[in-house]
Amino acid sequence: MKCVINRRAQFSASHRYWLPELSEAENKQKFGRGAWFPGHGHNYVLFVSLAGELDEYGMVQNLSEVKKVIKREVTSQLDGAYLNQVWQDFQQTLPTTENIARIIWQRLAPHLPLVNIQLFEHPELWADYQGNDMEAHLTISTHFSAAHRLAHPKLTYEENCEIYGKCARPNGHGHNYHLEITVKGEIDSRTGMIVDLEALQRVIDDYVVEPFDHTFLNKDIPYFTTVVPTAENIAVYIRQLLQQPIQELGAQLYKIKLIESPNNSCEVYCTQTPLSSEPSGINQPILTSVL
Protein backbone atom coordinates (compact mmCIF):
# COMPACT_ATOMS: atom_id res chain seq x y z
CA MET A 1 0.00 0.00 0.00
CA LYS A 2 1.43 3.37 -1.06
CA CYS A 3 1.61 6.11 1.56
CA VAL A 4 2.91 9.67 1.88
CA ILE A 5 4.76 10.64 5.05
CA ASN A 6 6.00 14.05 6.16
CA ARG A 7 9.01 15.01 8.23
CA ARG A 8 9.36 18.46 9.80
CA ALA A 9 12.67 20.26 10.30
CA GLN A 10 13.72 23.82 10.92
CA PHE A 11 16.68 26.15 10.62
CA SER A 12 17.42 29.84 11.13
CA ALA A 13 19.31 31.71 8.44
CA SER A 14 19.77 35.14 6.89
CA HIS A 15 19.87 36.27 3.28
CA ARG A 16 19.93 39.35 1.09
CA TYR A 17 18.38 40.07 -2.29
CA TRP A 18 21.23 41.73 -4.15
CA LEU A 19 22.59 41.34 -7.69
CA PRO A 20 26.13 42.67 -8.18
CA GLU A 21 25.46 43.56 -11.82
CA LEU A 22 22.84 46.10 -10.69
CA SER A 23 23.50 49.45 -9.03
CA GLU A 24 22.45 50.12 -5.46
CA ALA A 25 19.47 52.14 -6.69
CA GLU A 26 18.43 49.38 -9.11
CA ASN A 27 18.68 46.70 -6.41
CA LYS A 28 16.59 48.76 -4.00
CA GLN A 29 14.00 49.43 -6.68
CA LYS A 30 13.81 45.74 -7.62
CA PHE A 31 13.94 44.12 -4.18
CA GLY A 32 12.77 46.83 -1.78
CA ARG A 33 13.69 46.13 1.84
CA GLY A 34 15.09 42.76 0.83
CA ALA A 35 18.11 44.61 -0.60
CA TRP A 36 18.97 46.36 2.66
CA PHE A 37 22.48 45.71 3.99
CA PRO A 38 23.56 43.40 5.57
CA GLY A 39 20.42 41.31 5.00
CA HIS A 40 17.66 39.88 7.15
CA GLY A 41 16.84 36.55 8.79
CA HIS A 42 14.04 34.03 9.18
CA ASN A 43 13.15 31.02 11.26
CA TYR A 44 12.50 28.62 8.38
CA VAL A 45 10.24 25.59 8.81
CA LEU A 46 10.72 22.72 6.37
CA PHE A 47 8.35 19.85 5.55
CA VAL A 48 9.81 16.97 3.56
CA SER A 49 7.17 14.69 1.99
CA LEU A 50 8.10 11.14 0.96
CA ALA A 51 6.07 8.47 -0.82
CA GLY A 52 6.42 4.72 -1.08
CA GLU A 53 5.08 1.29 -0.27
CA LEU A 54 4.84 0.19 3.35
CA ASP A 55 7.57 -2.28 4.28
CA GLU A 56 7.25 -5.26 6.58
CA TYR A 57 7.75 -2.97 9.56
CA GLY A 58 4.85 -0.71 8.55
CA MET A 59 7.04 2.18 7.37
CA VAL A 60 7.65 4.04 4.12
CA GLN A 61 11.03 5.11 5.45
CA ASN A 62 12.64 4.86 8.86
CA LEU A 63 12.05 8.38 10.19
CA SER A 64 15.19 8.22 12.32
CA GLU A 65 17.20 7.74 9.13
CA VAL A 66 15.19 10.44 7.34
CA LYS A 67 16.01 12.86 10.16
CA LYS A 68 19.73 12.09 9.81
CA VAL A 69 19.65 12.67 6.05
CA ILE A 70 17.86 16.03 6.38
CA LYS A 71 20.31 17.15 9.05
CA ARG A 72 23.39 16.00 7.11
CA GLU A 73 22.36 17.38 3.71
CA VAL A 74 20.41 20.50 4.71
CA THR A 75 19.88 21.81 8.22
CA SER A 76 23.41 21.36 9.59
CA GLN A 77 24.68 23.44 6.67
CA LEU A 78 21.98 26.12 6.64
CA ASP A 79 21.29 26.69 10.32
CA GLY A 80 22.88 29.95 11.44
CA ALA A 81 24.23 30.62 7.93
CA TYR A 82 24.20 33.54 5.53
CA LEU A 83 22.47 31.80 2.62
CA ASN A 84 23.97 33.89 -0.17
CA GLN A 85 27.39 32.42 0.66
CA VAL A 86 26.75 28.97 2.14
CA TRP A 87 25.91 27.10 -1.09
CA GLN A 88 27.31 27.81 -4.54
CA ASP A 89 23.77 27.42 -5.96
CA PHE A 90 22.82 30.75 -4.41
CA GLN A 91 25.61 32.59 -6.20
CA GLN A 92 23.79 32.09 -9.50
CA THR A 93 20.17 32.24 -8.29
CA LEU A 94 19.25 34.25 -5.18
CA PRO A 95 18.02 32.39 -2.06
CA THR A 96 14.32 33.21 -2.26
CA THR A 97 11.89 30.92 -0.48
CA GLU A 98 10.97 29.15 -3.70
CA ASN A 99 14.59 28.71 -4.80
CA ILE A 100 15.72 27.44 -1.40
CA ALA A 101 12.97 24.80 -1.64
CA ARG A 102 14.22 23.84 -5.11
CA ILE A 103 17.84 23.45 -3.99
CA ILE A 104 16.81 21.48 -0.89
CA TRP A 105 14.97 19.08 -3.23
CA GLN A 106 18.14 18.66 -5.27
CA ARG A 107 20.16 17.92 -2.13
CA LEU A 108 17.70 15.36 -0.77
CA ALA A 109 16.43 13.66 -3.96
CA PRO A 110 19.42 11.27 -4.29
CA HIS A 111 18.73 9.95 -0.78
CA LEU A 112 14.94 10.06 -0.27
CA PRO A 113 11.79 9.29 -2.36
CA LEU A 114 10.57 12.88 -2.41
CA VAL A 115 7.15 14.04 -3.57
CA ASN A 116 7.14 17.59 -2.16
CA ILE A 117 9.33 20.11 -0.38
CA GLN A 118 7.41 22.78 1.51
CA LEU A 119 9.37 25.65 3.03
CA PHE A 120 7.86 28.32 5.29
CA GLU A 121 9.78 31.58 5.43
CA HIS A 122 7.24 32.70 8.00
CA PRO A 123 3.61 31.72 8.75
CA GLU A 124 2.26 33.98 5.98
CA LEU A 125 4.65 32.99 3.18
CA TRP A 126 5.71 29.56 1.95
CA ALA A 127 6.77 27.69 -1.17
CA ASP A 128 6.17 24.18 -2.56
CA TYR A 129 8.51 22.43 -4.97
CA GLN A 130 8.01 19.04 -6.60
CA GLY A 131 11.03 18.52 -8.77
CA ASN A 132 9.63 20.13 -11.93
CA ASP A 133 12.77 21.88 -13.17
CA MET A 134 12.29 25.62 -12.35
CA GLU A 135 8.56 25.44 -11.64
CA ALA A 136 7.35 26.09 -8.10
CA HIS A 137 4.36 27.29 -6.10
CA LEU A 138 4.34 30.27 -3.73
CA THR A 139 1.62 30.97 -1.16
CA ILE A 140 0.73 34.19 0.62
CA SER A 141 -1.59 34.05 3.63
CA THR A 142 -3.67 37.06 4.65
CA HIS A 143 -7.01 37.82 6.32
CA PHE A 144 -10.05 40.04 6.38
CA SER A 145 -13.10 40.39 8.62
CA ALA A 146 -16.58 40.54 7.16
CA ALA A 147 -20.23 39.79 7.87
CA HIS A 148 -22.67 37.91 5.67
CA ARG A 149 -26.10 36.37 5.59
CA LEU A 150 -26.83 33.09 3.84
CA ALA A 151 -30.22 33.48 2.17
CA HIS A 152 -31.25 32.82 -1.40
CA PRO A 153 -33.17 35.86 -2.70
CA LYS A 154 -35.85 33.73 -4.38
CA LEU A 155 -36.72 31.77 -1.23
CA THR A 156 -38.82 32.68 1.78
CA TYR A 157 -37.29 33.20 5.19
CA GLU A 158 -38.62 29.83 6.30
CA GLU A 159 -37.18 28.08 3.24
CA ASN A 160 -33.80 29.73 3.77
CA CYS A 161 -33.79 28.69 7.43
CA GLU A 162 -34.47 25.12 6.30
CA ILE A 163 -31.36 25.23 4.09
CA TYR A 164 -28.95 27.52 5.95
CA GLY A 165 -30.11 27.23 9.56
CA LYS A 166 -28.99 30.04 11.87
CA CYS A 167 -26.93 31.57 9.05
CA ALA A 168 -30.20 32.78 7.46
CA ARG A 169 -31.08 35.09 10.35
CA PRO A 170 -31.93 38.58 8.99
CA ASN A 171 -29.10 40.57 10.56
CA GLY A 172 -26.32 38.22 9.50
CA HIS A 173 -23.16 37.22 11.35
CA GLY A 174 -19.41 37.73 10.96
CA HIS A 175 -16.16 35.83 10.45
CA ASN A 176 -12.45 36.48 10.63
CA TYR A 177 -11.65 35.00 7.23
CA HIS A 178 -8.17 33.64 6.55
CA LEU A 179 -7.19 33.61 2.90
CA GLU A 180 -4.37 31.70 1.20
CA ILE A 181 -3.43 32.60 -2.38
CA THR A 182 -1.13 30.20 -4.20
CA VAL A 183 0.54 31.18 -7.45
CA LYS A 184 2.51 29.00 -9.84
CA GLY A 185 5.36 29.92 -12.15
CA GLU A 186 8.94 29.52 -13.29
CA ILE A 187 11.70 30.53 -10.90
CA ASP A 188 13.78 33.25 -12.53
CA SER A 189 17.30 31.89 -12.98
CA ARG A 190 18.87 35.07 -11.56
CA THR A 191 16.46 36.63 -9.08
CA GLY A 192 15.10 33.31 -7.79
CA MET A 193 11.56 34.68 -7.88
CA ILE A 194 8.34 33.39 -9.40
CA VAL A 195 6.80 36.83 -9.09
CA ASP A 196 7.55 40.21 -7.55
CA LEU A 197 6.36 39.56 -3.99
CA GLU A 198 5.55 43.17 -3.15
CA ALA A 199 3.55 43.55 -6.38
CA LEU A 200 1.66 40.33 -5.62
CA GLN A 201 0.83 41.56 -2.12
CA ARG A 202 -0.45 44.86 -3.55
CA VAL A 203 -2.74 43.02 -5.97
CA ILE A 204 -4.19 40.89 -3.17
CA ASP A 205 -4.68 43.93 -0.94
CA ASP A 206 -6.16 46.12 -3.69
CA TYR A 207 -8.53 43.54 -5.19
CA VAL A 208 -9.59 41.58 -2.11
CA VAL A 209 -8.46 42.62 1.37
CA GLU A 210 -9.28 46.33 1.23
CA PRO A 211 -12.63 45.98 -0.62
CA PHE A 212 -13.79 43.05 1.57
CA ASP A 213 -12.51 44.00 5.02
CA HIS A 214 -15.13 45.19 7.51
CA THR A 215 -18.02 44.91 5.09
CA PHE A 216 -21.42 43.26 5.09
CA LEU A 217 -20.78 41.21 1.97
CA ASN A 218 -24.43 40.96 0.91
CA LYS A 219 -24.87 44.74 0.90
CA ASP A 220 -21.40 46.19 0.30
CA ILE A 221 -20.09 43.92 -2.47
CA PRO A 222 -22.36 44.17 -5.56
CA TYR A 223 -21.57 40.60 -6.68
CA PHE A 224 -23.24 39.22 -3.56
CA THR A 225 -26.51 41.08 -3.96
CA THR A 226 -27.61 38.17 -6.17
CA VAL A 227 -25.11 35.45 -5.18
CA VAL A 228 -25.28 33.84 -1.72
CA PRO A 229 -21.93 34.59 0.00
CA THR A 230 -21.10 31.06 1.12
CA ALA A 231 -17.42 30.26 1.65
CA GLU A 232 -17.48 28.47 -1.70
CA ASN A 233 -18.96 31.43 -3.60
CA ILE A 234 -16.60 33.88 -1.91
CA ALA A 235 -13.61 31.75 -2.94
CA VAL A 236 -14.87 31.48 -6.53
CA TYR A 237 -15.35 35.26 -6.71
CA ILE A 238 -11.87 35.92 -5.32
CA ARG A 239 -10.51 33.63 -8.02
CA GLN A 240 -12.31 35.73 -10.64
CA LEU A 241 -10.88 38.93 -9.18
CA LEU A 242 -7.26 37.76 -8.99
CA GLN A 243 -6.64 35.62 -12.07
CA GLN A 244 -6.03 38.41 -14.56
CA PRO A 245 -4.01 40.78 -12.32
CA ILE A 246 -1.74 37.92 -11.25
CA GLN A 247 -1.29 36.84 -14.86
CA GLU A 248 -0.23 40.39 -15.68
CA LEU A 249 2.53 40.03 -13.05
CA GLY A 250 3.89 37.05 -14.97
CA ALA A 251 2.59 34.26 -12.72
CA GLN A 252 -0.47 32.00 -12.75
CA LEU A 253 -3.09 31.87 -10.02
CA TYR A 254 -3.12 28.26 -8.84
CA LYS A 255 -5.36 27.96 -5.79
CA ILE A 256 -7.58 29.98 -3.47
CA LYS A 257 -8.14 28.63 0.03
CA LEU A 258 -10.64 30.44 2.22
CA ILE A 259 -10.82 29.48 5.89
CA GLU A 260 -14.12 30.68 7.27
CA SER A 261 -13.65 29.20 10.74
CA PRO A 262 -11.52 26.50 12.41
CA ASN A 263 -14.20 24.02 11.30
CA ASN A 264 -14.78 25.05 7.68
CA SER A 265 -12.57 25.89 4.73
CA CYS A 266 -12.96 25.94 0.97
CA GLU A 267 -10.39 25.41 -1.80
CA VAL A 268 -10.78 26.42 -5.44
CA TYR A 269 -8.13 25.29 -7.93
CA CYS A 270 -7.36 27.24 -11.05
CA THR A 271 -5.17 25.01 -13.25
CA GLN A 272 -5.11 21.54 -14.73
CA THR A 273 -1.76 20.58 -13.19
CA PRO A 274 -2.55 19.73 -9.56
CA LEU A 275 -0.26 19.16 -6.60
CA SER A 276 -0.02 15.47 -5.72
CA SER A 277 -2.55 15.82 -2.90
CA GLU A 278 -5.07 17.75 -4.98
CA PRO A 279 -8.56 16.33 -5.61
CA SER A 280 -9.50 15.34 -9.14
CA GLY A 281 -12.29 17.90 -9.61
CA ILE A 282 -9.89 20.79 -9.45
CA ASN A 283 -12.08 23.44 -11.03
CA GLN A 284 -14.82 22.95 -8.45
CA PRO A 285 -14.73 24.41 -4.92
CA ILE A 286 -13.73 21.80 -2.34
CA LEU A 287 -15.27 22.27 1.10
CA THR A 288 -13.39 20.67 3.97
CA SER A 289 -14.77 20.51 7.50
CA VAL A 290 -13.49 19.44 10.88
CA LEU A 291 -16.24 18.21 13.14
User: Measuring CA to CA, which residue among 65, 83, 133 is closest to residue 105?
Assistant: 133
Domains and CATH numbers, the chain: 1-131 (3.30.479.10), 132-291 (3.30.479.10)
Judge whether 260 counts as a catalytic residue: yes
Judge whether 122 counts as a catalytic residue: no
Query: Could you tell me which residues come within 8 angstroms of residue 114 by beta carbon, excluding any fewer than 6 positions away?
Result: 48, 49, 50, 105, 108, 131
Euclidean distance between CA atoms 190 and 90, whole angstroms: 9
**43-100 confidence digits (pLDDT tens):** 999 999 999 999 999 999 999 999 999 999 999 999 999 999 999 999 999 999 999 9
From the candidates 98, 121, 232, 260, give the one annotated as an active-site residue.
260
From the candidates 143, 152, 167, 178, give the one annotated as an active-site residue.
167
**221-242 confidence digits (pLDDT tens):** 999 999 999 999 999 999 999 9
Count Cα neighbours of 90 within 13 Å in the Cβ-side half-sphere: 23
Judge whether 214 counts as a catalytic residue: yes
**152-165 confidence digits (pLDDT tens):** 999 999 999 999 99
Residue 276's pLDDT is: 40
User: Measuring CA to CA, which residue among 99, 101, 14 is closest to residue 49?
Assistant: 101
In terms of Cβ atoms closer than 10 Å to its own Cβ (0-12, 13-18, 19+), residue 11 is buried
Q: What is the mean pLDDT of residues 253-279?
A: 79
Could you give the C-alpha distances from 51 to 1, 6, 65, 166, 282, in angstroms and in order?
10, 9, 15, 43, 22
